[in-house]
Structure 1
Amino acid sequence: MDSRIHSLHHPLPMPPQRKAPVNTKASFQEVFKEAQGLKVSKHAKSRLQERNIEISADKWSKIAEKMSEARQKGVEDSLVVLDDATLIVSTKNQTVVTALDRAESQSQIFTNINGTIFIND
C-alpha cells in the first residue's frame, strides 16, 4: 500500500467558530422589523431619521403584512402611503427603499412602481 493514502485519513483541524457580533444599539423597531422579515435599507433609515418619521411597531407589522399581500398579487415595487409618511418599498425583497414625509411626497412623481398600499390609523 502507498503511504500517501494513509495520511489522507487524518481529520483536518476545524477553524474556531466565531460568534456573531451583538448589536447593542438596535432599537426595538429594528429588532421588530427583522422579526417580521421586513428590511429597511441604509438609505431609508437615514431618511427616516433626517425627516423625524416615527412609525410604531403595530404600523410596521401592518406594512409587512400588506407588502406580503401585494407580493402575492404580483406587485414588486410599491408606494406605501401612511397618514404622516410615504415609503417606497420592494415587496420582492421585503425592503423599505426610502421614506418621505407626507408634505414632501405630495409634490413628487413616483415612477417604476406597480402598486400602491394605503395604511390608515
Structure 2
Amino acid sequence: MKPSFSQHLNSAIRPLDTNLVVSKHAMERLQQRNIQISGDCWARIEEKVSEAKKMGVNDSLVLVRDAALIVSAKNQTVITALDRKEANAQIFTNINGTIVLD
C-alpha cells in the first residue's frame, strides 16, 4: 500500500532521529521565523518530553536557546514555535509543564 500524503508530510517534517512530529502549523512557524534547531537539540527535546509525559505532563512549554515550543507530550507533537525574543512578551496557557534546555 502506498503511503498517504500526510504520512509523507509527517516524515518530511519530523526532526531527524526522533519520534517527535512537527505539526504543519509549527513547521510553518519555524520556517517563517527562521528558527533552526539542531538534531542534537531535537533529541534532547524528545528525551525531556518523554520524561515529562511519564510525570503526567500533557502539554509543555519547551524553551531552548533560540526558540520556545509548545509540545503535546501526550501526542509527541510540536504544536507551535516562537523565537525566544517573541516569546518574552507572551502568556502561555493550557500547559502543565515547562522544560528549559539552554
Q: 1:32-65, CA deviations, whole angstroms, 9 ceiling, x for partnerless residues?
A: 1xx4211000000000000000000000000000
Percent identity among equivalent residues?
57
Q: Quote the offset at 1:19 in angstroms.
A: 3.5
Q: Quote the offset at 1:20 in angstroms.
A: 3.0
Q: Quote the offset at 1:21 in angstroms.
A: 6.4
TM-score between the two structures when normalised by the length of structure 2 = 0.87
**2:14 aligned residue (18, 24, 30):** 30
Higher relative contact order (CA 8 A, sep 6+): 2
Structure 1: 5+ residue runs without aligned partners?
1-17
Runs of 4+ in 1 over 2 A off after TM superposition: 18-23
TM-score between the two structures when normalised by the length of structure 1 = 0.74
Q: Quote the offset at 1:30 in angstroms.
A: 3.2
Q: Distance in 2 between matches of 1:31 and 1:74?
A: 24
Match of 2:77 in 1: 95
Structure 2: 5+ residue runs without aligned partners?
none
Match of 2:58 in 1: 76
Bigger CA radius of gyration: 1
Q: Quote the offset at 1:31 in angstroms.
A: 5.7
Residue 5 of structure 2 is aligned to residue 19 of structure 1: no
Match of 1:5 in 2: none
Match of 1:3 in 2: none
Q: Which amino acid aligns with 1:69?
A: E
State the aligned residue count. Answer: 98
